[in-house]
Chain A
């Protein structure tokens, strides 16, 4: 084994710091060997995705660490769980399912993790700083941390996130290293005027298209209007990490490592340059939305990734605009969010306002991991590129994609209502 280890690494590997640290360090060192990393580096925080998994082996894994007295060495947040831990009963989740999910969730808290239960850890507790080395799981969180914040993480697979949290160490490889953060593919956007980019849904459609085109490479997006909101960057990254395996993007003039194209490319020539047209963006929007306007909608899903305070505020404003007092009786309008955003929205009077409209708020969880979307739902509408990508496979539904305004109008009328996408087809 050629990986250089520190004295502390070796102590952990030898079991001097307990069985849980030995187990976790053994996995970290073997992975470093597999990816041919020269040594390990320290991370200052972790975000664990593995807690969402409903399986006996996940329970075996976390129980083994927790029962051995395992504790995380760095501040560690938790991704969503397969359950709204407070309201599962009300949401119709079977109790046996709830029991296993709760047992897994509690075991991760016993390891010393902060029970954030959020897939958008960047909008809550422990937001990473620029240049900080971190170990995060959850693809949308990873792309946001690398791109919007300029923190450094690879997309850690389930269990590696846990081992990184327990040891505070990861292989010195991938996006932790400056040279691997270089932009590879320049993506030039059409000149459309900034009004086309007002809705985060437009950014989601762009992310969806970019993910399809670049796969695992790092795109440099040129021509986006600035300033960009966190919600716009979140929509872009989540979609690009779903249709492709994008772990980082540069948005020129917006993201911290891309003040200009040359800097994003580390002053080297790009591997490739793609010129996007309005037609390509429009086609991507249509691919995300195979259901036609006028079809019946059964469920509307918002908050993929978890709804922020600003999104609650935007939703309340749209509800105020729509010509209806309540969600259509045949439609389930579901919001997924985390406890921080919900607490703030509640204090701002926004939760009361959206619930009066007939919104169901689910906390801590995900529609793909928890049985909360109504049985028999056939058509789901969403403003999320990630949800549009995964819903057909995970929920067996057809998807209509639109802006937040489209989603509210469709929920009120019971039929898919869509404004034209903000681009012209040539």
Chain B
């Protein structure tokens, strides 16, 4: 990716982390184990990987509206992703993030980006997320 991208922060916040990129929509309920943060949906392209502390990039949400509760339970256990980046409005995920911040003070930014911007967010890239929705690559070689 280039110098930076800007998305719309539907839940604003700051974060840094490494991208876990998925090309499949996800239902957090039945898709992520709330006690471990591991993706458990066998149909998902990142099944078996962990979302804990990662910047989880995914095309959108699907399925159960209980997904908000899964994100809240992850936040309670300190197992939440660092940030969530998606290309479609994801109200269930946004709700889980907002309640997590109100209840536990855990900020999990949720950023909506364009499909073009999304295609630039490769797996394994380290990013910083700003309150205004700015996504900057962090160059590890300089640190």
Contacts and interface: CB of A to CB of B under 8 A. Distances in A.
B72 to A, nearest CB: 4
A130 interface: no
Contacts of B89: 34-35
Contact of B103 (A34, A64, A155): A64
Which of B67, B89, B94, B102: most chain A CB closer than 10 A? Answer: B102
Contacts of A393: 30
Contacts of A56: 73, 76
Nearest to B90: A34
Interface string B84-108: 0000010110111011001110000
A121 to B, nearest CB: 16
B131 interface: no
A129 interface: no
Nearest to B74: A57
Contacts of B67: 157
Given A56-B76, A61-B99, A34 B94 contact: yes
A159 B110 CA distance: 18
Nearest to A64: B103
B48 interface: no
Contacts, number: 75
B74 to A, nearest CB: 9
A58 B98 contact: no
Interface residues of A, number: 28
Nearest to A56: B76
Contacts of B59: none
A137 B65 contact: yes
A31 B76 contact: no
A139 interface: yes
Interface stretch (A22-30, A250-258, A280-288, A353-361): A22-30
A365 B48 CA distance: 32
Contacts of A31: 91, 94-95, 98
Given A33-B10, A34-B89, A393-B30, 12 more contacts: A23-B102, A31-B98, A55-B73, A57-B76, A60-B104, A139-B65, A157-B65, A157-B95, A157-B96, A158-B66, A158-B68, A245-B63
12 contacts: A34-B110, A56-B76, A58-B72, A60-B76, A60-B104, A64-B103, A137-B65, A157-B65, A157-B67, A159-B68, A159-B69, A159-B72
Interface of A: 23, 26-27, 30-31, 33-35, 49-50, 53, 55-58, 60-61, 64, 137, 139, 155-160, 245, 393
Interface of B: 10-11, 30, 34, 62-63, 65-69, 72-73, 75-76, 89, 91-92, 94-96, 98-99, 102-104, 110
**In the A-B complex, the 6 residue pairs with the closest CB atoms:** A157-B65, A34-B10, A57-B76, A57-B72, A157-B68, A57-B73
